[in-house]
């Protein structure tokens, strides 16, 4: 059984929530974060990406960055201001974007259940990114951005969530990117009811935020080791999450771009693909219509092709990203490790296929592969099998905002 606990959130007021809220720290570069926070002293990017307030070229992992993050956090507490709730609560969090709507429940999940794989994973994390967020959490004594979880739908949870949305929200604003964020705080009785309803949900699945979750576990270990009187009830034993039912979660494709074709010209590469058994369709749509199809942008034209079917029945073997990596990126282009090879990069589906054309036409990359998105059912199945997806397989949209609900540890 997975559990969801209420917590005493540190949060801005409804008047300053829009100014404080910020995109997740890991979806923007330093220069993008600096531009987004420009002219807005309340932006949470001053905390989550504190290098933006230091000289250009500052190492984002330097001691001075974490010191500035702590100073900026204290300044934001005063100036926003940020206030801690008088009682522990759960929250209902609705996202709206381009006609899509999804509503989840914000609270704290158990790191013990994370350790036991009751909170399931599908992505391998990087130590340098874990090191960064672990230090950020320990320095601030806070988890400042939620982990996005999903779960198999529960009609009981749905009913209680819909009832909560009839009340007055504490936050209701549309961010500059067009995503509308609405949050309701549940009082004591609805909090108890929603928490109880989640007791019938057996598993949670990390959709987005593997590094935040892993870092929360490492921060817990450090804080527990420094606390000789630990009882197990401390706030650092839980991590900040928002849970959305699987039927509402939207996954966009995560596309691939390659810098060169080896020693081949575009025509030679296309010929080699044909000799390898790929039937290329000239003038194909930029976005594949179904699983197993990929669109290739090369030489100013789009081509469509189907991936070979997997010989094995395991879930990971049937993923389009895995099949593309095996049969095209590795066998034809010689890209052996997509995690480390500098010849390949990844473009989130929110940027659209026009971004792929721009990158190739501009000469930065030689070719682009437009993918069909992974389904939530595939994500759950792979997580249940204990498998790890290829890097950059899923892009979740819309995204939650940092700084709206903070969990102090």
Q: Tell me the per-residue pLDDT of 116-145, one tens digit each, with 9 for 90 and over.
A: 999 999 999 999 999 999 999 999 999 999
Q: Sorting pLDDT into bands at 50, 70 and 90, what band is 327?
A: very high
Alpha-helical segments (H) within 301-396: 320-324, 352-361, 376-384
Average pLDDT over residues 209-225: 98
- Is pLDDT above 80 for 64? yes
Average pLDDT over residues 325-348: 94
Question: pLDDT above 90 covers what percent of the chain?
Answer: 96
* Angle subtended by helix axes 155-164 and 188-197, to nearest 10: 160
Other C-beta atoms lying within 10 Å of the C-beta of residue 276: 12
- Is pLDDT above 80 for 312? no
- What is the pLDDT, as a whole number, of residue 339? 87
- What is the pLDDT, as a whole number, of residue 1? 83
How far apart CA 289 and CA 286 sit, in angstroms, is 9
- Whether residue 187 is preceded by a cis peptide bond, meaning omega within 30 degrees of 0, is no
- What is the pLDDT, as a whole number, of residue 314? 79
Instruction: At 309, list the tokens.
Output: 């079917």
Give the mean pLDDT of the chain: 96
H or E segment to which residue 401 belongs: none
- Is pLDDT above 80 for 5? yes
Domain ranges for the chain, please list them: 4-247+397-408, 254-372
Q: Sorting pLDDT into bands at 50, 70 and 90, what band is 190?
A: very high
Pairing of strands 254-258, 344-348: antiparallel
- What is the pLDDT, as a whole number, of residue 310? 75
pTM of the model: 0.93
- What is the pLDDT, as a whole number, of residue 385? 94
CATH class assigned to 254-372: alpha beta
How far apart CA 222 and CA 204 sit, in angstroms, is 25
Average pLDDT over residues 245-257: 97
Radius of gyration of the chain, Cα coordinates, nearest whole angstrom? 22
- What is the pLDDT, as a whole number, of residue 223? 98
Instruction: At 310, list the tokens.
Output: 């997997």
Average pLDDT over residues 90-113: 98
Q: In this predicted model, what pLDDT tens digit does every residue of 364-401 receive, in sequence order? A: 999 999 999 999 999 999 999 999 999 899 999 999 99
* CB 366 within 8 Å of CB 265: no
Range list of β-strands (E), 7-135:
10-11, 83-84, 91-97, 100-110, 119-120
- Is pLDDT above 80 for 24? yes
Total residues belonging to the chain: 409
- What is the pLDDT, as a whole number, of residue 123? 93
* CB 7 within 8 Å of CB 107: yes
Tokens 């790929």 locate to 278
Inter-CA distances, 21 with 361, 373, 395, Å: 35, 28, 21
- What is the pLDDT, as a whole number, of residue 303? 98
- Is pLDDT above 90 for 311? no
- What is the pLDDT, as a whole number, of residue 257? 98
- Is pLDDT above 90 for 230? yes
Inter-CA distances, 348 with 32, 57, 131, 313, Å: 15, 26, 24, 28
């Amino acid at each position: 059984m997975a559990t969801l606990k209420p917590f005493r959130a540190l949060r801005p007021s409804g008047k300053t929530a829009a100014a404080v809220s910020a995109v997740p720290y890991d979806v923007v570069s330093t220069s993008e974060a600096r531009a987004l926070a420009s002219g807005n002293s309340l932006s949470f990017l001053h905390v989550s990406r504190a290098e933006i307030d230091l000289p250009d070229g500052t190492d984002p992992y330097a001691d001075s960055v974490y010191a500035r993050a702590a100073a900026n956090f204290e300044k934001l507490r005063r100036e926003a201001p940020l206030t801690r709730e008088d009682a522990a609560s759960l929250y209902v969090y609705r996202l709206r974007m381009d006609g899509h709507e999804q509503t989840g429940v914000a609270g704290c999940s158990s790191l013990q259940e994370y350790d036991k794989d009751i909170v399931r994973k599908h992505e391998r994390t990087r130590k340098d990114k874990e090191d960064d967020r672990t230090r950020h959490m320990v320095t601030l004594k806070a988890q400042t951005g939620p982990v996005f979880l999903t779960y198999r739908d529960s009609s009981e949870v749905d009913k209680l969530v819909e009832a909560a949305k009839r009340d007055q929200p504490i936050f209701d604003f549309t961010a500059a990117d067009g995503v509308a964020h609405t949050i309701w705080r549940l009082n004591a009785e609805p909090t108890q009811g929603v928490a109880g309803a989640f007791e019938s949900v057996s598993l949670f699945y990390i959709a987005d935020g593997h590094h935040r979750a892993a870092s929360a576990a490492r921060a817990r270990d450090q804080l527990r080791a420094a606390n000789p009187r630990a009882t197990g009830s401390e706030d650092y034993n839980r991590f900040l999450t928002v849970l959305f039912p699987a039927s509402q979660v939207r996954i966009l494709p995560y596309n691939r771009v390659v810098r060169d074709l080896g020693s081949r010209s575009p025509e030679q590469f296309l010929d080699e693909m044909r000799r390898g058994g790929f039937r290329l369709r000239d003038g194909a749509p930029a976005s594949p219509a179904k699983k197993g199809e990929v669109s290739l942008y090369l030489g100013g034209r789009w081509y469509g092709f189907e991936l070979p079917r997997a010989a094995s029945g395991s879930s990971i073997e049937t993923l389009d990203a895995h099949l593309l990596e095996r049969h095209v990126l590795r066998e034809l282009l010689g890209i052996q490790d997509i995690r480390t090879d500098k010849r390949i990069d990844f473009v989130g589906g929110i940027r659209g296929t026009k971004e792929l054309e721009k990158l190739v036409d501009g000469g930065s990359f030689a070719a682009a592969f437009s993918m069909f998105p992974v389904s939530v059912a595939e994500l759950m199945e792979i997580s249940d099998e204990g498998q790890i997806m290829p890097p950059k397989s899923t892009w979740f949209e819309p995204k939650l905002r940092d700084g709206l609900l903070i969990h102090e540890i």
